[in-house]
Chains A and B, each alone.
Chain A
Amino acid sequence: MTDLTNLTLAEARDGLAKGDYTSVELTEAHLKSMEAHRNLNAYITETPEKAIEMAKASDAKRAKGEAGKMEGLPIAIKDLFCTEGVQTTAASHILEGFKPEYESTVTRNLFDNGAVMLGKANLDEFAMGSSNTSSYYGNVINPWKGKDGKDLVPGGSSGGSAAAVAANMALAATGTDTGGSIRQPASYCGIVGLKPTYGRCSRWGIVAFASSLDQAGPMTKTVRDAAIMLGSMAGHDAKDSTSAPMAVPDFEAALTGDIRGMKIGIPKEYRVDGMPEEISKLWDDGVAMLRYAGAEVVDVSLPHTKYALGTYYIVAPAEASSNLARYDGLRYGQRVMDEGDSLDDMYMKSRAAGFGKEVQRRIMIGTYVLSAGYYDAYYNKALKVRRRIYEDFANAFGSVDTILAPTAPSAAFAIGENEGDPVKMYLNDVFTVPASLAGLPGLSLPTGLSSEGLPLGLQLIGKPFDEETVLRVGGVLESAANFTAKPSGLEG
């Protein structure tokens, strides 16, 4: 029998339907792979018993003819989604031991559709990071290796999810994207990552980082898999006021393979100074592939792009500084307090011990930009620029159907490489942040390898709630690029 962990989500779905194997077999194969690749630290919490139990229940459901869209498919859940009765940490010490009494809407949707949870995937603490090195539970190692064999970052914040999928430790994984946290690790790990339109998936039950930006999405091996999984994750949720009251289309049906006559925008502002040659070439190759498939390639301008990163690093920390105020040691998670301490002592000690350096940095940035006397200069101005960035895209989408750009300015870098320089670290998000600020869907897929043999991704940015176009073009690009390379860093 072939290794069941090599299957795509779609193949596994079809194989289960045909009765080639059971969900229990599929799940056991993945649990074994998880054990074999534990060195990558892709999971914070493995839930093998729960997985087998869910797989059994799924097989029973299928036997009764009640198979859902994700029936029996074992996946990883980013440890930012609250999962009922299963420790949910957000990769933070402050939430260690926290077991929610509720299930996030997205995981509830997935489980209702039959998905099986293998465990909770590692991430940057509170999803703040681009390297998965800020996790309290240790960094994640990218299954890919460069020529020098050094351990590389998987990207972040959904680094555990990306590594798990790339290393066949899950058929797919959930991710969340605030400024690139799905797309950038997908690019670094050679997988597909889709950040849907803001409002497409409910945020209810996802530990909040920056509420106006956070969006859940699928991280998969193929574009088709992303379409399948998004269809199961998405949908209006009355419990999230920002979730869109829109029907969920059949995303898989959008994969017609036909993009003839479609207009693809190439934003000139993304061709930044000092862009590595191999990234430029990757992008040019992508353009050529889409043109060959019958699309028309159009130059577009997104003039406010250069302000996006600065805007993001005001808006996101501002919201985070407020969203993270609830971690005060009072009701759940870690409390640090000594005899005779005041309430303020307890706050300071618990938060100082509970939050890592990057989270503390962002809380301080956010507190600063919102404080009296600075609000207008920073936060208010950032909101105005954010509006301009949205308008840039709206103008561009007046003449094109989707926009093609690199996902990240480089391939995965070595662990520890950017640690001393937060600004350099933040630059990883330079291409992903604009679509986040505009709330637009963005799909990253691997289309080539760097000179070091590491995967590189291109992203397609779509109109609001037009994931279908993004998926359709992505499907064509995927076929044309024919990316078949496998992670070089996996033993066995």
Chain B
Amino acid sequence: MTYVIEGSTGPWEIVVGLEVHCQVISESKLFSGASTKFGNDPNTNVSLVDAAMPGMLPVVNAACVRQAVKTGLGLKAKINKESVFARKNYFYADLPQGYQISQFDKPIVGEGTIILDMPDGSTKAVGIERLHLEQDAGKSMHDQDPKYSHIDLNRSGVALMEIVSMPDIRTPEEAGAYLTKLRAIVRYLGTCDGNMNEGSMRCDANVSVRRPGEPFGTRCEIKNVNSIRFVMQAIEIEAKRQVEVIEGGGEIVQETRLYDQRLGETRSMRSKEMAHDYRYFPDPDLLPLVFDDAFISEIEKELPELPDEKKARFMRENGLSAYDAGVLVAEKEKADYYEVVAKGRDGKLAANWVITNLFGALNKAEVGIADSPVSAENLGKLIDLISDDTISGRIAKDVFEIMIETGGDPEKIVEEKGLKQITDTGAIETAIDEVIAANPDKVEEIRAGKDKMLGWFVGQVMKSTGGKANPGMVNKMLRDKILG
């Protein structure tokens, strides 16, 4: 798929790399015992270490390290058996130590890959350059007082995984697919909750443009975009801005920019000249992290089936299309739901019901799969009712509507509403005869070769039986009577 920006001087290609900060799911912070609980009162989850009191020392939280290794394995990445924590030095009010403990030249995880599932069913591999562990900063609040900023250190020291992609992304859509997939992977792994609106997953986008086939252009970094949709918008808007600048005879300056979703524009935050010199150096308070093979394989054994493997299995075992399988595995809860529905049933039929009917209805009602009024068991039962000819596909749709509204059991609904399919030949024949008798002119039209009219007759018979007649039988009998 090619995506180009048509400039006044010809087409431009965009080159994007993403840096995603994922907050690690852990009880306590990366280097202290303070709680990581979200939403507590300001400055209540703060230890002496987090507040950088004199003489305090960091001690690495092994649980966070395991989470990072697990994520690395989930990204099919190289786990570095020796990695080093480094200090990134800069002054800011919400950074009590005056440095952030991060990783620099020796990250915990090296190169890996993410497979994007594109909407057209195709896939694309995007390289992962690295994953490293670091501390989050505190939060500055500028709206609490007219003169002073307030600082909340609850987040100070919480573990983050910074996951850096290669500059392999070429369209805003791919950026969206990358974030969606990355979020799915960390959620499957249970290493990050992936909630961008709560800030537990944050994205910086590096964007540049070039003539197709030419070397990379100068990039700008768009900081802290907080939804997948906004990332896609920001990339498009920034790329267009760069094209305009270049075509207008200007030059792109490497800088950090901010995306204003309200105005739909990116704005310069600080230029390269103003960029910090972070003076990274190995943190002398911490020993290098050293792993042996046993440690890594132990974590490997804990890995759940991940989206790519699940998708392949759904395609292989259930005969699903790449697209359908991709939709189902996008969220673990959806895949789990589907598996319950498909168990012992026609996998494709189950997929159809889950994707088209259920997801359609949930989307319309803006409800997540976890809050689906229709349980997987009941949806399975509904499919059984179709398969054993208890109800027709059409009636099933009505039953499903009721299930969505009431959350009821399909068997009971069919029973109570008397929706069982009529498969009694006599009853169907009576209905057909009545319709034929009432429409002799149309019968003639069919006999004269207007086959399409047959469908009209089927509809009339279905209508007169309240939709309960077996449509296959109606069709066949009508044919026999009129044409036979």
Contact = CB atoms under 8 A, between A and B. Distances in A.
Contacts of B284: 210-212, 242, 319
Contacts of A395: none
B93 A325 contact: no
Contact of A95 (B54, B93, B285): B54
Contacts of B285: 208, 211, 241-242
A325 B99 contact: yes
B interface, size bucket: 20 to 34
B93 A330 contact: yes
A204 B56 contact: yes
A208 B149 CA distance: 29
Given A241-B285, A318-B281, A322-B89, A205 B55 contact: yes
Nearest to A348: B91
Interface residues of A, number: 45
Interface in A331-386: 331-332, 343-344, 347, 367, 370-372, 375, 379
A104 B55 contact: yes
Contact of A207 (B55, B89, B98): B55
Given A208-B55, A322-B87, A322-B279, A331 B287 contact: no
A241 B54 contact: no
Interface stretch (B57-65, B222-230, B358-366, B410-418): B57-65
Contacts of A240: 57, 59
A332 B53 contact: yes
A367 B279 contact: yes
A204 B57 CA distance: 6
A325 B57 contact: no
Contact of A371 (B56, B91, B279, B287): B279
A307 interface: no
Contact of A331 (B51, B87, B279, B280): B51
A90 B287 CA distance: 26
B199 interface: no
A18 interface: no
Contacts of A88: 54
Instruction: Identify whether the interface residues of B are mostly helix, strand, loop, or mixed.
Output: loop
B96 A331 contact: yes
A59 interface: no
Interface in B48-100: 48, 51-60, 87, 89, 91-93, 96-99
B388 interface: no
A370 B48 CA distance: 27
Contact of A100 (B54, B277, B281, B286): B54
Interface string A215-233: 0000000000000000000
A82 B57 CA distance: 13
A37 interface: no
A179 to B, nearest CB: 14
Given A102-B48, A242-B285, A372 B98 contact: no
Contacts, number: 100
B48 A331 contact: no
A238 interface: yes
A85 to B, nearest CB: 14
Contacts of B55: 81-82, 100, 104, 203-208
A417 to B, nearest CB: 31
Given A95-B54, A326-B52, A343 B93 contact: yes
A426 interface: no
Contact of B53 (A100, A241, A321, A379): A100
Contacts of A318: 281
Given A204-B57, A322-B99, A326-B54, A241 B286 contact: yes
Interface in A182-216: 203-208, 210-212
Contacts of B60: 241
Contact of A325 (B56, B97, B280, B281): B97
A328 interface: yes
A437 B341 CA distance: 66
Nearest to A351: B91
B48 to A, nearest CB: 6
B58 A241 contact: yes
B34 to A, nearest CB: 14
Given A82-B54, A100-B53, A207-B54, A326 B281 contact: no
A328 B93 CA distance: 9
Given A101-B48, A205-B56, 19 more contacts: A82-B53, A82-B55, A90-B54, A203-B57, A211-B284, A238-B59, A241-B57, A242-B284, A242-B286, A322-B99, A326-B96, A328-B91, A330-B96, A343-B92, A344-B91, A370-B89, A370-B280, A371-B277, A375-B279
Interface of A: 81-82, 88, 90, 95, 98, 100-102, 104, 203-208, 210-212, 238-242, 318-319, 321-322, 324-328, 330-332, 343-344, 347, 367, 370-372, 375, 379
**6 smallest beta-carbon distances between A and B, as pairs:** A325-B98, A212-B284, A370-B279, A211-B284, A326-B52, A205-B55
17 contacts: A90-B54, A100-B55, A203-B57, A207-B55, A208-B55, A211-B285, A241-B59, A241-B60, A318-B281, A322-B98, A325-B89, A326-B52, A327-B54, A328-B91, A330-B96, A367-B279, A370-B279
